[in-house]
Amino acid sequence: MNYLENKTYDELSVGDSASFSRTLTQEDILLYAYVSGDYNPVHIDEEYAKTTQYKGTIAHGMFYAAMLSAAVASSLPGPGSILLSQEFRLRNPARAGDTLNGVISIAEKKSKMNIVRVDCTIKNQDGTTVFTGTSTVIAPSEKLKIAKAKLPQVTISL
């Protein structure tokens, strides 16, 4: 069984980092559109998107922000973290088939309320930066090691 284990505020040091990777699929983009309600045709209508500056569909920018949030909640600091704020810049688009490689790192610790600042960069398989961001998080004070939740299989039918 897979487990998620956090790093408590006291265990964290500036410079600690974690990486994550995901190959973006068309299904990811469609599911994000469905869950978020963002049906902008630049994300889901290939014929329309071909007429735009992107020359094809691109992923939702908030998808990357969700990847950052997931990395903070799952690995650094991990379970028990509370996201307070997130700032980011969308640098370049990503498309279905792109492999997104991210690195998060502890940039700052503030002892009041166990606050940490977590910086993030996500690049595609070619090394092009698609996203940079920072999250302000309350790091957990208690050590947690919990079983990773088993989620249902989701399919798309069009």
Identify whether 38 is part of a domain: no
**Chain segment 54-108, per-residue pLDDT in tens:** 999 999 999 999 999 999 999 999 999 999 999 999 999 999 999 999 999 999 9
Asked if residues 73 and 79 have their Cβ atoms less than 8 Å apart, the reply is yes
> Quick one: tokens of 8?
């408590």
Question: Residues 8-27: what's their mean pLDDT?
Answer: 96
Identify whether 108 is part of a domain: yes
Amino acid at 53: Q
> Quick one: tokens of 156?
């798309």
- Give the domain extent around 133: 3-24+59-146
Question: What pTM value is reported for the model?
Answer: 0.91
Count: domains in the chain: 1
Answer whether residue 1 shows pLDDT above 80: no
* Partners of 85 in the β-ladder: 136
The CATH number covering residue 140 comes to 3.10.129.10
Answer whether residue 27 shows pLDDT above 70: yes
Identify whether 97 is part of a domain: yes
Rounded to whole angstroms, the maximal C-alpha distance in the chain is: 52
Identify whether 37 is part of a domain: no
Residue 95 neighbours by CB under 8 Å, 6+ apart: 24, 56, 57, 58, 59
Question: Residues 44-62: what's their mean pLDDT?
Answer: 96
Answer whether residue 31 shows pLDDT above 90: yes
Identify whether 44 is part of a domain: no
* Closest C-alpha to 73, from 26, 120, 129, 123: 120
As a whole number, the mean pLDDT across the chain is 95
Gap between the terminal Cα atoms of the chain: 33
Asked if residues 75 and 36 have their Cβ atoms less than 8 Å apart, the reply is no
Q: Residue 111: its pLDDT value, please?
A: 87
Answer whether residue 29 shows pLDDT above 70: yes
